[in-house]
């Protein structure tokens, strides 16, 4: 059974890159009927916060990335890391190191002075410590270091990047457990991935360089290796690694900005993966299609316009009911009394083709649930004095027509245009200003029909300019 995981460090919100990693891991598990595990890697005590855990979980829930097991917290598993470290020590594959920070700094400085790459020199490897006559100083909790193989290469076949090989000579005896018993990332991640039976480690390619170390520890534990898949970096439009500077904020910011989670999933899916020419697809389709073979090796570029475009497509494809339900909280927040106007569904139907986001959709719909307050400036600009009697006449006509439908309203407007020898905008814009306090609306007859005859007639009479 395929088992994948998302293992965020809770040091901030769920950003675009993290969300994409989570999405790929989730989709891979779902695609193959496997399990998706959420693990919080909270070992950086200074930077980890509960607020960040909440933000990450909120982001995943919003995107619809449900997990089957967890969340597991690494800080709850300290005894387990100690146990595995003890086993490695007992087998001669790890050892205690008592170097102080000053000593390590000195070691690195000397190496640099000789033009060598700074690395731990293995002086506390038991046989070397003995030959150097090193004695464990009293009162110091040592770190536990991994005895990295001295020779050979670490080779693995990345499911995205292909074969990768690193010489062990490049790797030093890195720390597994700190003095306080907290594991380093490279140790905690291995113990957990093995204990949790992870079969496919899908993550960003900033971790490629950690993988050989992790593989060495896995070998030392005689474990069967999982498969690795490193997804490409995400860049901003300027070719730099994506960061806040590019507007790459928390995924929850996109919720606030009126993006649909399915559009976000669609966009994240396409950031470094493709399915032929398909641009616009549902989360369900993505799960059916997702494979690691089509994850790109080259960096992906984040493009906010593309995301907006996709959101627009998804908004248009949603049913009126779904969209109305989605914007009710926003409308209320904006102060709309939804009982004061026509059913929201009908209003949504009028606007959804031009709505790029739920924010613009709500703002448009709002005009049906609030009193328009046309400004003097609007009147001066768009409602010239000679049109006043025309508007007054139109109000009377509207009162008299037998039924109140877009067709009959449209016919009446056209009749007035013909009789007065006017072009559509000369009448439509003043009507919009008086009835809705704005110059731009979807099809006028449809808008008026939805608003209701009484309201339209009243506003045409009351909101006429006084001068
Ligand atoms: N906690 C690591 C991170 O957030 C997880 C990396 C991994 O998936 O192994 O980058």
Say whether both 285 and 353 belong to one domain: no
Give the strand pairing for 3-6 and 35-40. Answer: parallel
Using the 3D structure, point to which of 317, 336, 351 is the last residue of a domain: 317
CA of 48 to the centre of ligand 1 (A): 13
Ligand 1 contact, 42 CB (< 6 A): no
Residue 331, Cβ neighbours under 10 Å: how many? 23
Ligand 1 contact, 207 CB (< 6 A): yes
- pLDDT tens sequence across 352-383: 999 999 999 999 999 999 888 888 899 989 99
pLDDT of residue 76: 98
Residues in the chain: 467
Residue 15 domain flag? yes
Which of 161, 244, 352, 388 is catalytic? The answer is: 244
- In the chain, the percentage of residues whose pLDDT exceeds 90 is 91
Please, which pLDDT band fits residue 152 given cuts at 50, 70 and 90? Answer: very high
Residue 79 domain flag? no
The two three-digit tokens of residue 106, written as one number:
């000195």
**Alpha carbon 193 to chain centroid distance?**
24
Say whether both 353 and 448 belong to one domain: no
Question: Using an 8 Å Cβ cutoff, are 336 and 384 in contact?
Answer: no
Nearest Cα residue to atom 6 of ligand 1: 7
Collapse the DSSP code of 7 into the 3-class scheme (helix H, G, I; strand E, B; otherwise coil) and give the result: coil
Ligand 1 contact, 41 CB (< 6 A): yes
Residue 170 domain flag? no
Say whether both 309 and 365 belong to one domain: no
Taking Cα atoms as reference points, which of 262, 100, 227 lies closest to residue 156? 227
Exposed e or buried b for every residue in 242-276, given b needs 16+ CB within 10 A?
beeebebebbbebbeebbbbbbbbbbbbbbbbebe
Say whether both 285 and 343 belong to one domain: no
Say whether both 286 and 378 belong to one domain: no
CATH number of the domain where residue 426 is located: 1.10.10.350
Residue 354 domain flag? yes
CA of 364 to the centre of ligand 1 (A): 42
Say whether both 192 and 336 belong to one domain: no
CA of 307 to the centre of ligand 1 (A): 26
Residue 342, Cβ neighbours under 10 Å: how many? 17
Residue 96 domain flag? no
pLDDT of residue 466: 64
Question: Using an 8 Å Cβ cutoff, are 280 and 230 in contact?
Answer: no
Dihedral sign for Cα 32, 33, 34, 36, please. Answer: positive
Q: In sequence order, what are the residues at sequence separation of 6 or more whose Cβ sits closer than 8 angstroms to the Cβ of residue 381?
A: none
pLDDT of residue 465: 63
Collapse the DSSP code of 309 into the 3-class scheme (helix H, G, I; strand E, B; otherwise coil) and give the result: helix
Contacts 24+ apart (CB under 8 A), 405-413: 405/449, 406/443, 406/445, 406/446, 406/448, 406/449, 407/445, 409/445, 409/448, 409/449, 410/445, 413/444, 413/445
Q: What is the pTM of this model?
A: 0.92
Say whether both 254 and 312 belong to one domain: yes
State which residues form the domain around 461.
371-467
Q: In sequence order, what are the residues at sequence separation of 6 or more whose Cβ sits closer than 8 angstroms to the Cβ of residue 323?
A: 315, 348, 352, 358, 361
- pLDDT tens sequence across 60-118: 999 999 999 999 999 999 999 999 999 999 999 999 999 999 999 999 999 999 999 89
Ligand 1 contact, 160 CB (< 6 A): no
Using the 3D structure, point to which of 306, 340, 370 is the last residue of a domain: 370
Say whether both 192 and 247 belong to one domain: yes
pLDDT at 464 over 80: no
Say whether both 206 and 275 belong to one domain: yes
- pLDDT tens sequence across 392-412: 999 999 999 999 999 999 999
Residue 78 domain flag? no
pLDDT of residue 361: 97
**Alpha carbon 96 to chain centroid distance?**
41
244 catalytic? Reply is yes
Question: Using an 8 Å Cβ cutoff, are 120 and 104 in contact?
Answer: yes
Ligand 1: which atom is nearest the Cα of residue 8?
4
Q: In sequence order, what are the residues at sequence separation of 6 or more whose Cβ sits closer than 8 angstroms to the Cβ of residue 313?
A: 263, 280
Ligand 1: which atom is nearest the Cα of residue 41?
1
Ligand 1 contact, 37 CB (< 6 A): no
Residue 142 domain flag? no
Q: How many domains does the chain have?
A: 3
Three-state helix/strand/coil letters over 435-461: HHCCCCCCCHHHHHHHHCHHHHHHHHH
The two three-digit tokens of residue 45, written as one number:
């005590």
Residue 107 domain flag? no
The two three-digit tokens of residue 191, written as one number:
């113990």
Ligand 1 contact, 271 CB (< 6 A): no
Say whether both 289 and 345 belong to one domain: no
Say whether both 330 and 313 belong to one domain: no
CA of 239 to the centre of ligand 1 (A): 23
Say whether both 234 and 363 belong to one domain: no
CATH number of the domain where residue 25 is located: 3.40.50.620
CA of 21 to the centre of ligand 1 (A): 10
Ligand 1 contact, 231 CB (< 6 A): no
Query: Regarding predicted confidence, which is higher, 246 or 280?
Result: 280
- In the chain, the percentage of residues whose pLDDT exceeds 70 is 99
């Amino acid at each position: 059974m395929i088992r994948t995981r998302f293992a965020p460090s809770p040091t901030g919100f769920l950003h675009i890159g993290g969300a994409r990693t989570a999405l790929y891991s989730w989709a891979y598990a779902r695609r193959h009927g496997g399990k998706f595990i959420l693990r919080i890697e909270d070992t950086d005590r200074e930077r980890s916060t509960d607020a960040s855990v909440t933000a990450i979980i909120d982001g995943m829930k919003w995107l619809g990335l449900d997990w089957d097991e967890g969340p597991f917290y690494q800080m709850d598993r300290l005894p387990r890391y100690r146990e595995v470290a003890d086993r490695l020590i007992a087998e001669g594959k790890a050892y205690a190191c008592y170097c102080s920070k000053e000593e390590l700094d000195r070691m690195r400085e000397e190496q640099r002075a000789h033009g060598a790459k700074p690395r731990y020199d293995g002086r506390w490897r038991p046989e070397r410590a003995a030959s150097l006559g090193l004695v464990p100083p009293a009162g110091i909790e040592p770190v536990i270091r991994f005895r990295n193989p001295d020779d050979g290469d670490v080779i693995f076949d990345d499911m995205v990047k292909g074969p990768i090989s690193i010489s062990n000579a490049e790797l030093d005896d890195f720390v597994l457990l700190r003095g306080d018993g907290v594991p380093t990332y490279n140790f905690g991640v291995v113990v957990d991935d093995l204990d949790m039976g992870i079969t496919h480690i899908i993550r960003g390619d900033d971790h490629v360089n950690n993988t050989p170390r992790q593989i060495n520890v896995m070998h030392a534990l005689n474990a069967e290796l999982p498969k690795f898949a490193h997804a490409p970096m995400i860049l901003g439009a300027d070719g730099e690694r994506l960061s806040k500077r590019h507007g790459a904020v928390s995924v929850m910011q996109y919720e606030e900005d009126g993006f649909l989670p399915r559009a976000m999933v669609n966009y994240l899916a396409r950031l470094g993966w493709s399915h032929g020419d398909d641009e616009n697809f549902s989360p369900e389709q993505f799960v059916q299609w997702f494979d690691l073979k089509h994850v790109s090796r080259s960096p992906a570029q984040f493009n906010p316009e593309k995301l907006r475009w996709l959101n627009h497509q998804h908004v248009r494809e949603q049913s009126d009911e779904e969209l109305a339900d989605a914007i009710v909280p926003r409308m209320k927040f904006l102060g709309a009394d939804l009982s004061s106007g026509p059913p929201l569904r009908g209003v949504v139907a009028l606007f959804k083709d031009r709505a790029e986001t739920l924010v613009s959709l709500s703002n448009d719909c709002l005009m049906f649930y609030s009193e328009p307050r046309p400004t003097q400036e609007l009147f001066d600009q768009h409602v010239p004095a000679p049109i006043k009697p025309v508007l007054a006449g139109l109000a009377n006509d509207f009162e008299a027509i037998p039924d109140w439908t877009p067709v009959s309203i449209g016919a009446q407007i056209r009749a007035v245009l013909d009789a007065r020898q006017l072009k559509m905008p000369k009448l439509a814009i003043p009507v919009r200003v008086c009835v809705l306090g704005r110059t731009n609306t979807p099809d006028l007859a449809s808008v008026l029909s939805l608003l209701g005859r009484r309201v339209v007639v009243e506003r045409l009479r009351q909101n006429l300019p006084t001068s």
